[in-house]
Every structure is written in C-alpha cells, then in structure tokens.
Amino acid sequence: MSNLFGFDGGDTWLHHLSGATKMLAFVGISIIAMASYDLRFTAAIMVMSLILFYQAKIKWSQVSLVVKIITAFSLLNLITVYLFSPEYGVQLYGTRHLLFGSGYLTVTSEQLFYELNLLSKYIVTVPLALIFLITTNPSEFAASLNKIHLSYKVSYSVALALRYIPDIQNVYHQISLSQQARGYELSKKAKFSQRLKGSAQILMPLIFSSLDRIDTVSQAMELRRFGRKKHRTWYMDHPFAWQDWLTLAGTAAIILIGAWLFKVNGGRFYNPFR
C-alpha cells in the first residue's frame, strides 16, 4: 500500500525549510489566491507554485492518484458551475460578449474568463498543499508548531498521529482479510450496502486493538518522562534560517500585492471587459 499523504525524505531547499514556514506560506498564499479574482495575480502565483512543485522533485508516482482525483473533481466543478448558471460571468462583469450558443446554454467571454479564474485558483493551491505534505517531516513540523507557541502536547500528538497511520492501515488490512475469510464479501463482487456492513464489522476489532495500543504507548511515554517539564527540546528541531525568513517575507509580499490589487481594482474582481 503506497503512503498517500506521507512525508518523503529529500534534499531540496523546500525540504530544508521549517515546517511552520511552509504551513504559514501555504495557508497565506492559498487565502489570498482564493480571495482574489484578478487573473493576472492568480496566474502569476500559479506559475510560481508550479515552479516550486517542480523544484521539490516530488515523484510523480507518489502524487499521481491524488492529482488525478483532484483534476477530475475540479473539472466536474467547473462544468457544474457553468451548467447551473451559464451567464454568471455576465452578471459579474456587467458586459456580454457572446461567442456562440443560444437559449440557456450560451458561451460568453465573461463566463470563460470567470471560469479561468477558478481554474487558476485550483492550480495554485494543489501543488502548494502537496509540497507541504510531502516535504515536511512530521516530527520537525511538530517541533516548529511548538515554536510558534502551540502547546507541545498538542504538537506532539500531531506527530504521533502521523506516526501511527501506517500501523493502523496495516491492522485494518489484516482484520479485513480475516473477516473476508469468515464469509464477509468485501471485494467488488458484493453489493455496496453489503460492503459497508462488512466494513463496519472491521471497526470493532480495530477500535479495541487501537485502544490497547494507546494504553501501552501512553505508559511508554510516561516511563520516559513525557509531560514532566513545561518545555521540551526536539531532536528534529530546525532553527529558523534566512531561507525561512525570506520565504515568509515573500509570502507577506504576495499577500500585500494581492491586497493592493483589491484597492486598484476597487474590489476583488479585475474586469478586463470595461
């Protein structure tokens, strides 16, 4: 089973950035890109995020499934937006340049421009999210969350959850196989409702074995003094380097440009049709 959202070690400058930096940059840039409907701006960030994705040297095989799923849903979304309201762009921009079509299903330049805006937003966020998930070591991320003043107990539970995902996947798989041998058909041959019922049967043993584990792990942690002091240090801690500050400064600059464009455009929308 491939690790869908797992950290994958690497040696690019993006891997060396602190996890908190990457999270702040990802959240900051995504928000401004979502808010802005200035295609010049979002297209520029889109190009940047694609370049970054290329620089992170992420293996295509690791993300291909996720990317395909997201692409499919994005296209579906774009089509639905059009089908529900083919003239939404006309309403937004106040002009109407008909390209072709008639009746309900018309295609206007305004609608195309609006949907292009949407598309660019998707393309901005997806590579950034993948970069964050795949180039961030969960332990280092926990350490950096702690550094931005989140309680270390909370920070550590984030890392611990990530640590146990593969284990739980494994146990789930084992239980599922044994239930199948008992007679639950969970393969594609069975009806969906049956598969759902069968899957529910896996949950009870899974929960019980997980509860046992939690008990043992928490004892093991206490035996090694987790929670003894107000502060703890982190083996994977990674001091903020100039690259981190530069990245944060760059993020701030992008956000400021986005905000400045709101002012220039007199709102969130850039209107080329006026």
Partner 1 sequence: MSKPAIIFDHVTYQYDSQAEPTLHDINLTINQGEKVLIIGPSGSGKSTLGNLINGLIPHAIPGKITGQVTVMGQDVENSSLFDLSLHVGTVLQDPDSQFVGLTAAEDIAFAMENDATPQAEMKTRVRQWATTLGIKDQLGQSPQALSGGQKQRTAMAGVLVDEGDVLLFDEPLAALDPATGKQSIELIDDLHRRLGITVVIIEHRLEEVLAQPVDRVIVMQDGRIIANETPEALLKTPLLREIGLREPLYLEALDLAGIDFNDTTGITSVNTIEAPNLKQKLSDWLTGEPAHQKPAGLKPLLAIKDLTFGYPKGPKLFDHFDLTINRGDMLALVGENGVGKTTLSQLITGFVKPDAGTMTFAGADLATQSVKERADQIGYIMQDPNQMISKIKIFDEVALGLTLRGVDEATIKAKVEDALKICGLYPFRNWPISALSFGQKKRVTIASILTLSPQLLILDEPTAGQDWRHYTAMMRFLEKLNRDSGITMLLITHDMHLMLEYATRTVVLGHSGILLDAEPAKVLTEPAIIKQARLAETSLYTLAKRMDMDPFAFTAAVIAHERQERHV
Q: Which residues contribute to the site for partner 1 (CB under 8 A)?
A: 137-139, 159-160, 162-163, 166-167, 171, 174-175, 177-185, 187, 189, 201-202, 204-205, 208-209, 212-213, 216-229, 231-237
In whole angstroms, what is the distance from residue 234 CA to residue 236 CA? 5
Least Å distance, CB 162 to partner 1, is: 7
Give the count of alpha carbons within 13 A of 63, CB side only.
22
In whole angstroms, what is the distance from residue 52 CA to residue 216 CA? 42
Least Å distance, CB 221 to partner 1, is: 6
Least Å distance, CB 179 to partner 1, is: 7
Least Å distance, CB 227 to partner 1, is: 7
Of the pair 88, 234, the CB lying nearest partner 1 is at 234
Of the pair 153, 268, the CB lying nearest partner 1 is at 153
In whole angstroms, what is the distance from residue 270 CA to residue 92 CA? 10
Cβ 134 vs Cβ 56: under 8 Å: yes
> CA 98, 102, 107, 111 torsion: positive or negative?
positive
Q: Tell me, what DSSP letter sits at residue 190?
A: S
> Tokens for 180?
């199948």
Of the pair 224, 263, the CB lying nearest partner 1 is at 224
Least Å distance, CB 67 to partner 1, is: 20
Nearest to 200 by CA among 222, 184, 224, 183: 184
Of the pair 75, 204, the CB lying nearest partner 1 is at 204
In whole angstroms, what is the distance from residue 128 CA to residue 22 CA? 9
Q: Tell me, what DSSP letter sits at residue 106?
A: E
Cβ 5 vs Cβ 161: under 8 Å: no
Q: Tell me, what DSSP letter sits at residue 148?
A: T
Of the pair 182, 274, the CB lying nearest partner 1 is at 182
Phi then psi for residue 95, to 5 deg, are -125, 170
Least Å distance, CB 146 to partner 1, is: 11
Of the pair 103, 239, the CB lying nearest partner 1 is at 239
Least Å distance, CB 156 to partner 1, is: 8
Of the pair 84, 235, the CB lying nearest partner 1 is at 235
